[in-house]
Amino acid sequence: MSKGSTTLASRSLMTKGVTMNAQSAAPRSLFTTVRWMRARWLQMTMVALFAIIFLGADDDMEARFNTLGHKKLICVCGCNQILLECNHVGCTYSDGMRNELAAAIRRGDSNDLVLQAFVQKYGSIVLAAPTTTGFNLVAWITPYVLLVAGFVFAGMIVRSWKNRPLSQPELTSSSARLDEFREKARRETEL
Amino acid sequence: MPYFGSFALLCALALGLYSLVVGAISLLRENPVSRRLSETARRAGIAGFLAVAAAAVALVWSAFHDDFSVAYIQHHSNRDLPLPYKFAVLWSGQEGSLLLWALLLGAYGFVLRIRHKVDIRLTAYASVILAGVQVFFLLLLNFAATPFSLAQGEIPPDGNGLNPLLQYAEMVIHPPMLYLGYVGMTVPFAFGLAALIMRYPGEKWIHITRRWTMVTWMFLTCGIFLGSHWAYVVLGWGGYWGWDPVENASLMPWLTGTAFLHSVMMQEKRGMMKVWNVWLVFATFMLSILGTWLTRSGVISSVHAFAQSPIGAWFLIFLGIVFVVCLYFFIKNRSHLKTEHRLESLISRESSFLFNNLLLLVSCFAILWGTFFPILSEWATENTITVGPPFYNNVNVPIALLLLLLTAVGPLLAWRRTSFASLQRNFTIPITIAAASAVALMVGGIRPWQDISYLYALMAISLSVLVAATVASEFLRGARVISSHTGHNLFSSLVHLWHRNTRRYGGYIVHFGVIVAVIGLAGSAFNQNKEQAMTDGDKMQIGAYTLTYRFSAQDDTPNEETDMAVIGVSQNGRPLPTMYVTRHDFKASQQRNTVPAIRSSILEDLYIVNAGVTSDGRGRVINAHVNPLVSWLWAGWLMIVLGTLLALVPNKAAVTVPQTAPARAASAVAMAQTTGIGD
């Protein structure tokens, strides 16, 4: 259920030791462009539109980086942790894998393509959960099949309990019999 | 000291074998000689505990005296290790943790054998079964995983040191708690099997084991929560539960143990589900052994790498023996477990317990299934796959939500049958409150249609509100009735109510704790995470927080080197106390550990990690998380513990009303109907 948003740009720059605000470049370039195209309103509109599209794409890229890194891939160093959550100091895999993921997304690869490339390089062990195809589907279905079967079975059991005839206790005036009932009532009501 | 320890372990094995063999022989016949033999077996069991305790003391003594001639001490301790952590050496490695297991089992056996007068014959049977389990662990300690093995070659001047991840105060408590839970499950198992073997009449064994089960369940809960808390505040990956095989291994017996605590009431009150209960208690014990096998055999990869060794085969064989023994006695004596199940309505407490058990067991199965599926897949398709957190979350969250719904509904259903009118009366207000909370959350900004995790979070919180409302209505209704009868104020009536049926009302507090923890879990759907390389004066924005990198500092002690980054924090422009994030380089073990800085509030945690030095050496890579509602998880845990403790207090004597018998019965029934009492 975790959802995160590791900054894509900072992650790729981190290994170089450079600090940079990922979004600072965008307004500056837009501003220059606007000055350059001052009199050309049609082109200006086009540029603005492109800027909006690309700004959106940037957000989208970051969201995809987080979705894939937090929900779909694990670090293959043997820690069994989610890729963006592997924090082993000196882990020889996770940094490289994160950079590969960032590069693939920046290249414009689709999610499927990214995952496929990872599987090709590291094997199917890199996927955080079984796929929903082939034999792996069994992993997903079995617990729910068991749940449904269990519900049906439990329902049948309760129904069979209900349908059993009630044996009416014989009421006698003997105090022993009464005591027995009192004890039963006490046990069931805990009074 | 190593010789003394080895000798103590050998003595413990001999005493355990005596307790097992002679104890078993003495149970074959019932005559004065057998009784005397049985008494010697009981005393041997008690002496066995003292022998194991002596061995444990010898190991801790060796750690305190830096006796590196013992290989175990050499590998898990060093001279400069702070003294409290030298205790932790006992369970930081495989051999030591097995010794701790044997020690705790011995301690449980000690208490059980001391209190044998509860039921001498039943305790004698249970004592033999405990001795059987103890012999297994002592065989391991004497022949397969010996804690007192001497180091080969020259004795080094210093040891390798304790795993740095374990050098944390909470870690001194977590493993013993978890083990108390695991090992404690042996006691209800022993009583259950004993009752089956001797065809024990009545449900007294359930009464005897009730407290044992509750206590061990509480320890297991504490162990699990302490482990999560330790993972959160020490491991520095920003979360508290990673669905690691070792975590799964602790959760599985917890789930079946929880199921047992509920279904056992069916047997107590209605004499139903005897077969089911016996197998639940068997399964809980076997799952704790299976978990140990899973994490020690190397079959499943885990971050708890210390545990992998060939002793896995021993556990598998032992598990097989336990299963065969249970199955044999079940088949032999199953007629003893026959019950006449009868129900007057489909909507009743009985059916709610049945479905509660079903959900808990399916959840347990899903975890077991996920843990084993990689092996199955490799066998079937020759393809190695991972079954990680997304699988467990996706499968278990819907089951947990259903369980939450039952937690709200079940306690308000009466035994035997519940009328529609009472359903309407009991649920109208709670359902209205829960629906209002869902609407309020959506108005407050939760958009369940945007992501399935938001939908789950919304459902979890609304259902939790429903549970809280039903629990509160139960307390209020009961207290009002008592208040009107006795004239006491509402608070003292609440205390009176709890005193009358501690298990029921303690149980409600446990339920309340569970929903507080669930709300904490639901918060994880809204976690935020950001990472940035920062040098002097750099800022990072995450959620409402602005982090400013100020400077870094270093420290050097004989045990470790520390690197600290100093981070200024403000929330919506308002300055907050400075946070210090550290990384430790432990000299003896040459291992590193990052310790996060956490600023906790009721709404969210700001969690910062010093993830490394930038390559130019001037800055630090700072990883920041904003984790909503995490403190609710820990608060929920404390409430669960409090509720369990309240449930353990003995009930006050039954209400005595100085009236004639029929009037008394009528009064009791009226009171029960109004307060809904009937556990």
The ipTM is 0.79
pLDDT band at B17 (very low <50, low <70, confident <90, very high): very high
Higher pLDDT, B208 or A57: B208
Cα–Cα distance measured from residue B361 to residue B249, given in angstroms and rounded to the nearest whole number: 14
Residue of A nearest to B625 (CA): A4
Q: Which of A72, A135, A142 sits opposite B381 (nearest CB)?
A: A135
Query: What does the pLDDT read at residue B600?
Result: 92
Note which residues in 246-275 of chain B have CB less than 8 A from chain A: 268-270
The pTM for the full model equals 0.83
pLDDT digits (tens, 9 = 90+) for B437-486: 999 999 888 888 888 889 999 999 999 999 999 999 888 888 888 888 88
pLDDT over threshold 50, residue B671: no
- Torsion-angle region of A37 (φ positive above 0: left; ψ -120 to 50: alpha; else: beta): alpha
pLDDT over threshold 70, residue B354: yes
Q: Which of A78, A89, A150 sits opposite B301 (nearest CB)?
A: A78
The mean pLDDT value for B258-275 works out to 84
Instruction: List the B528-534 sheet strands across, edge first.
Output: B528-534, B620-628, B604-613, B597-600
The answer to whether B256 and B284 are in contact (CB under 8 A) is yes
The mean pLDDT value for A107-135 works out to 87
Nearest Cα to Cα of residue A157 among B348, B3, B443, B410? B348
Contacts of A128 in chain B (CB under 8 A): 386, 388-391
The answer to whether B563 and B634 are in contact (CB under 8 A) is no
Query: What does the pLDDT read at residue A166?
Result: 54
pLDDT digits (tens, 9 = 90+) for B26-73: 888 778 888 888 888 889 889 999 999 999 999 998 888 888 888 888
Higher pLDDT, B587 or B299: B587
Residue of B nearest to A7 (CA): B530
pLDDT over threshold 90, residue B401: yes
pLDDT band at B677 (very low <50, low <70, confident <90, very high): very low
Contacts of B533 in chain A (CB under 8 A): 10, 13-14, 17-19
Contact B384 A123 (CB under 8 A): yes
The mean pLDDT value for B156-167 works out to 75
Contacts of B301 in chain A (CB under 8 A): 78, 80
pLDDT digits (tens, 9 = 90+) for A147-175: 999 989 888 887 887 776 655 444 444 55
Contact A189 B669 (CB under 8 A): yes
The mean pLDDT value for B140-169 works out to 79
Contact B594 A126 (CB under 8 A): no
pLDDT over threshold 50, residue B229: yes
Query: What does the pLDDT read at residue B296?
Result: 67
CA distance B178 to chain A (A): 22
Percent of chain B with pLDDT over 70: 92
Kindly report which listed range (B120-124, B345-349, B468-472, B669-673) carries the lowest average pLDDT score: B669-673
Higher pLDDT, B150 or B607: B607
Query: What does the pLDDT read at residue A164?
Result: 66
Q: Which of A17, A78, A89 sits opposite B616 (nearest CB)?
A: A17
pLDDT over threshold 50, residue B305: no
Higher pLDDT, B663 or B56: B56
pLDDT band at A35 (very low <50, low <70, confident <90, very high): very low
Cα–Cα distance measured from residue B202 to residue A39, given in angstroms and rounded to the nearest whole number: 96
Higher pLDDT, B383 or B462: B462
Query: What does the pLDDT read at residue B568?
Result: 93
Percent of chain B with pLDDT over 90: 35
If one counts every other C-beta atom within 10 angstroms of the C-beta of residue B313, the result is 13
Query: Does B504 contact A at CB distance below 8 Å?
Result: yes
The answer to whether B273 and B304 are in contact (CB under 8 A) is no
The mean pLDDT value for B549-559 works out to 85
- Give the per-residue SS3 of B46-115: HHHHHHHHHHHHHHHHHHHCCCCCEHHHHHHCCCCCCHHHHHHHHHHCHHHHHHHHHHHHHHHHHHHHHC
Query: What does the pLDDT read at residue B589?
Result: 65
Query: Does B405 contact A at CB distance below 8 Å?
Result: no
Contact B529 A84 (CB under 8 A): yes
The mean pLDDT value for B594-601 works out to 89
Domain range annotation of chain A:
8-129, 135-189
pLDDT over threshold 50, residue B195: yes
pLDDT over threshold 80, residue B360: yes
Query: What does the pLDDT read at residue B675?
Result: 42
pLDDT over threshold 50, residue B672: no
Contacts of A70 in chain B (CB under 8 A): 529
Nearest Cα to Cα of residue B630 among B242, B310, B233? B233
Query: What does the pLDDT read at residue A179?
Result: 64
The answer to whether B112 and B129 are in contact (CB under 8 A) is no
Cα–Cα distance measured from residue B167 to residue B233, given in angstroms and rounded to the nearest whole number: 12
Owner of token pair 């010794």: B99
pLDDT over threshold 70, residue B268: yes
Query: What does the pLDDT read at residue A30?
Result: 41
pLDDT over threshold 80, residue A42: no
Note which residues in 606-645 of chain B have CB less than 8 A from chain A: 609, 611-612, 614-619, 621, 623, 625
Which one of B296-300, B540-544, B635-639 scores highest in mean pLDDT?
A: B635-639
pLDDT band at B222 (very low <50, low <70, confident <90, very high): very high
What size, in residues, is chain B? 679
Q: Which of B342, B388, B593 sits opposite A82 (nearest CB)?
A: B388
Query: What does the pLDDT read at residue A170?
Result: 47
Query: What does the pLDDT read at residue B190?
Result: 93
The mean pLDDT value for B517-523 works out to 93
Query: φ and ψ at B619, to 5 degrees?
Result: -120, -175
pLDDT over threshold 50, residue A115: yes
Higher pLDDT, B357 or B293: B357
pLDDT over threshold 90, residue A143: yes
The mean pLDDT value for A94-102 works out to 84
Q: Which of B397, B521, B592 sits opposite A89 (nearest CB)?
A: B592
> Side chain identity at B420, as an amino acid letter?
F
Mean model confidence pLDDT for chain B = 84
pLDDT digits (tens, 9 = 90+) for A46-58: 445 444 444 445 5
Contacts of B526 in chain A (CB under 8 A): 3
Q: Which of B386, B618, B677 sits opposite A191 (nearest CB)?
A: B677
pLDDT over threshold 70, residue A16: no
CA distance A127 to chain B (A): 6
Extract long-range pairs of B613-616: CB within 8 Å, 24+ residues apart. Answer: B613/B563, B614/A14, B614/A17, B614/A18, B614/A19, B614/B533, B614/B535, B615/A15, B615/A16, B615/A17, B616/A17
Contacts of A10 in chain B (CB under 8 A): 530-533
